[in-house]
Amino acid sequence: MQFGEELQSMVAIGAVTASSVRLWCRAVGTGPYRLIIEPVGSPPITVDIEIRDGSADHTGAWTYPDEFPGASRLAPTTAHELRIADHDGSVVGCGRFTTAPESANAPHAFTFAAMSCHQPFDNKGELSERSRSMLRVAHEAMTVRGAQFFLAMGDQVYSDAPPAHSLFDESYFQRVAPPGRASLLECTRGEIRALFQQRYRQFWAIPELQRLYAEFPSWPMLDDHEIVDNFGSLEEHALPPWDSVREGALDAFHDYQGSRVLAATPADRPRSFDHGFRWGTTAVYQIDNRSERRAYAEHTQVVTPAQLSTFSEFLRAHDDARLLIIMVPVPLVFVPSRLANLAGALTHHEGIERWSHERCRPDRDRIFRLLVEHARAHPAQKLLLLSGDIHAGTAFQIKWTEGLVFHQLTASALTNKESFVTTFLTELAPRTVSSLSCGDLEAEVSLVAAADGAPAQNPFGRLNLGFVHVDDDGHRTRVQLELVSASDDERPIPVTAYLSPWLTVS
């Protein structure tokens, strides 16, 4: 398979609750379709749906039963099969999902997955067999572990890779450019939306990836490559020529990803895609660290006060949750400030992306202060940070001087295989951080040792996805963190690269 082959039809499971499901579909054309949902052991449910907006690239999303007057609610913790078909019976796509538990009857234990960075093509545009195998391994690992859902933590398409097929490569752009446009920066918002929609069709044409989205509920969040590498960290990105790039790329993100969670039309697409949800006694919140990122002369705005206010409201609304999961695509902990500042000064590139860089630290510190204040007020609530972005899997402990302990799991990359040198550096960088300072808040930072006798590759620089295993008996909440990769066999199978001990509230 080569870069350029395009997705035709696809079904994806978005947000699920104890009584509803949000479904997404990409079809070949507009028109009426039929949605059939079959709860296990119950008669099928059939409703009519329609894809109307051609500018959305023949995509649509619907919440059942909310958008269908008179439709019955779904039952909690119930397995469902579904299919979308033309009225003549031709199947557009199939999927499956299990509804969430009610908080009062949440299971004792469950597992979910976390993944980021899907770029499966080599520099020549050939689909990497190792990357394709990793997608098969991911499905098998999620099935065997009984994963209830997964978080897609950013970079699910790349506008700027592989290099010879980048929208910012002059020769490639001329092959796909709208008439009269010499570069992406000359395009209108609508033209950019269409070009980025094509990236989704190219990156998601892989059957193994489509199967993941069709058979597990997912909550997506964007990161830089859904726009361009390090987007928002360069001052030029805040200038008018980039406005259309930002807005068109975010329109396409909403068409293919955001609409699976946020029931907004393209006309009222949100400025940022922050969102949260509940899974039994676990509350999950995903922070958008990209849409509102702006670099100015003295500082970088990573998130806005409005975003932090909404986040704070979520924390207050879910103060009864036993486990609090906070996902930020770029890891809050990765390298010490001195190295981030040095890298930024030498290259004006990678270092300025890091939360520990002096330009980003004020917003990082606001998030940590908010989390510490919340943890002080709710000491029985376990808090876990998740992230992607860095092309290495890591598990950190963050121990504040007052005794509060957070943990952070980073899972990256799913299919974006790096060079030996890059892998070495991404595994080395997390080993250099040992402390964290947010003004008067101080923390010791350390890599989490593996469980006794368990695989201990932390950090881990090969292709991977993460798992969070949750156990809550009503008296004690604990989590176990796992990184899974593919074996080197001719037919790769899932292998655990790292497994933490069970981590409890301190």
Render each residue's pLDDT in the chain as its tens digit; 506 residues. Answer: 888 899 999 999 999 999 999 999 999 888 899 999 999 989 999 999 998 777 899 999 999 999 999 999 999 999 999 999 998 888 999 999 999 999 777 888 999 999 999 999 998 899 999 999 999 999 999 999 999 999 999 999 999 999 999 999 999 999 999 999 999 999 999 999 999 999 999 999 999 999 999 999 999 999 999 999 999 999 999 999 999 999 999 999 999 999 999 976 656 899 999 999 999 999 999 999 999 999 998 899 999 999 999 999 999 999 999 999 999 999 999 999 999 999 888 876 777 999 999 999 999 999 999 999 999 999 999 999 999 999 999 999 999 998 999 999 999 999 999 888 889 989 999 999 999 999 899 999 999 999 999 999 999 999 999 999 999 988 889 999 999 999 999 899 999 999 999 999 75
What span, in angstroms and rounded, lies between the C-alpha atoms of 174 and 195? Answer: 12
SS3 276: strand
Going by C-alpha positions, the residue among 334, 393, 462, 416 that lies closest to residue 113 is 393
In this prediction, residue 297 carries a pLDDT of: 86
What span, in angstroms and rounded, lies between the C-alpha atoms of 131 and 137? Answer: 10
What span, in angstroms and rounded, lies between the C-alpha atoms of 119 and 103? Answer: 37
Residue at 142: amino acid letter:
M
What span, in angstroms and rounded, lies between the C-alpha atoms of 277 and 219? Answer: 9
What 8-state DSSP symbol labels residue 314?
H
Q: Which domains, from first to last, does the chain contain? A: 10-18+100-504 (3.60.21.70)
Q: How far is CA 410 from the centre of its chain?
A: 11
What span, in angstroms and rounded, lies between the C-alpha atoms of 426 and 150? Answer: 24
Q: Helical H runs in 405-463?
A: 420-428
Contact in structure between 226 and 204 (CB atoms under 8 Å): no
Q: Is 353 exposed, middle or buried (CB count within 10 Å of its CB: 0-12, 13-18, 19+)?
A: buried
Spatial CB neighbours of 452, under 8 Å, sequence gap ≥ 6 = 501
Q: Is 321 exposed, middle or buried (CB count within 10 Å of its CB: 0-12, 13-18, 19+)?
A: buried
Cross-strand pairs, 16: 21
Q: Which two tokens stand for residue 471?
A: 């156990």
Residue at 341: amino acid letter:
N
pTM: 0.96
SS3 339: helix
Going by C-alpha positions, the residue among 244, 140, 147 that lies closest to residue 495 is 140
Q: Which residue has the tokens 């997608």?
A: 135
- Looking from the CA of 313 toward its CB, the CA atoms found within 13 Å total 9
- DSSP secondary structure string for all residues of 379-407: TTSEEEEEE--SSSBEEEEEEETTS-EEE
Length of the chain: 506
SS3 241: helix
- State the CB neighbour count (10 A cutoff) for residue 264: 14
Q: What is the 3-state secondary structure (H, E, C) of 95-129?
A: EEEECCCCHHHCCCEEEEEEECCCCCECCCCEECH
SS3 68: coil
